[in-house]
Amino acid sequence: MSPKTVGLLVFEQVNAADLTGPAEVFSYANISNSCGCEFACYEVLILGITMQPCMVECGIVVKPHTDLRGAPPLDTVIVPGGNGIRDKKVTKAIAKWLNFRRSTTRRIAALGTGIYALAATGMLDHRQVATHWRYAKDVAQRFPGLCVNADCLFLKDGPFYTSAGAMAGIDLSLSLIEEDCGTRVALAIARELVISAKRSGLQEQYSETLRFQTNSVSRLSELPTWVMSHLNENLSVETLAARACLCPRHFTRRFKKEFGTSPADFVDKLRIEEACNRLSVRDNSVEDVAVSVGFKSAAAFRRAFQRRLGVKPNAYRRRIDSNQKSIRRISHGRQKSHVSPEMPE
């Protein structure tokens, strides 16, 4: 099997995480044949607007493998974000090249502010897109034809993928690999890279765990990370209090004062949040999800889920499937943009 070629664009002041995160993820994707020999699933190429080395935002210098004009046929193109994308010449050059390559590229992804270049092509008009929460309002104002979602980590609409960028670019890359090579390969890469969880695109950018840590400046700030790693265990007030080195009564009073909710309610929120993520994987049954996030029974899980979200787990899963099918139907009904057969000067 020949490896699929992934092209990552590079330009002056590109975001390092948007560039190196996906490159690292794709480089770990390998499969074994019947003889036990490993083969690379992808070949990663760094594509510059020119062949000149580029300095990323953090000061690292990157040398392109080739420039846009010399790029070979590509299976996947990824446009990173970064301050340099604000340069109109950069945006124009990338948008022009993307339009030229559209008909011969299976999928195109934009990470974070990379959406500015992809949106400039017009190919995202009337499509569902995600971007970094900080730039969502500006993207919506500049490109009113886009349906901007400021909450999701990443979204797919037809052959186009958009994400919040940075660490969400890694989540998107794992999702692309899962599409090509299956869940086992994607999870093996996540484990190799010591990623705590493979997040779905529908997970919110600002999670309950991060919200808690952002507000906390005490010894309680480390609890969410620990809780997320022990969701299927006993997370009683006594257990959490011992973790924070406080007596249960003082812990409960301090917890409510600092965060306006009880420890039990907080744990329940985290469990339901993670359950939503796990329900997006079709192979996970409701019963398995319930046990994996710490509920004693599927019935208890269903009650808690409906109380929290107003919908049962199976209905929530059907809603996700319905949304994805709607997007695919919309995408399938659109005509492809006209593409010039030759690279424009």
pLDDT at position 138, please? 94
SS3 state of residue 128? strand
Q: Once rounded to an integer, what is the mean pLDDT over residues 215-237?
A: 79
Q: Once rounded to an integer, what is the mean pLDDT over residues 86-93?
A: 95
Residue with tokens 């985290």: 270
Domain ranges of the chain: 4-192, 208-324
Burial class from Cβ neighbours inside 10 Å (0-12, 13-18, 19+) for residue 332 reads: exposed
Q: Considering the chain, what is the average pLDDT of its residues? A: 85
pLDDT beyond 60 at 262: yes
pLDDT at position 321, please? 67
Could you tell me what percent of the chain has a pLDDT over 70?
Answer: 84
Give the confidence band of 37 by pLDDT, cuts at 50, 70, 90: confident
pLDDT at position 345, please? 45
**174-215, pLDDT tens digit by residue?**
999 989 988 888 888 988 887 766 666 656 555 555 555 555
pLDDT at position 197, please? 61
Q: Where are the beta strands (DSSP E) in the chain?
A: 4-10, 30-32, 38-40, 42-48, 54-55, 61-62, 66-67, 76-79, 107-111, 128-130, 147-149, 154-157, 160-163
Q: Tell me the HSE value of 182 on the side-chain side, using a 13 A CA sphere.
A: 6
Lowest mean pLDDT among 101-110, 131-140, 152-161, 331-340: 331-340
pLDDT at position 342, please? 44
Cα–Cα distances (Å) from 94 to 116, 120, 177, in that order, read 10, 9, 24
pTM of the model: 0.66
Q: Sort strands 107-111 and 76-79 into parallel, antiparallel or unpaired.
A: parallel
Which of the 8 DSSP states describes residue 298?
H
Burial class from Cβ neighbours inside 10 Å (0-12, 13-18, 19+) for residue 227 reads: buried
pLDDT at position 131, please? 92
pLDDT beyond 50 at 336: no
- The CB density around residue 304, as the number of other CB atoms within 10 Å, is 18
For the domain 4-192, what is the CATH code? 3.40.50.880
For the domain 208-324, what is the CATH code? 1.10.10.60
Of the two residues 284 and 144, the one the predictor is more confident about is: 144
**264-323, pLDDT tens digit by residue?**
999 999 899 889 888 877 778 999 999 999 999 999 999 999 999 999 999 888 877 665
SS3 state of residue 202? coil
Q: Once rounded to an integer, what is the mean pLDDT over residues 217-243?
A: 83
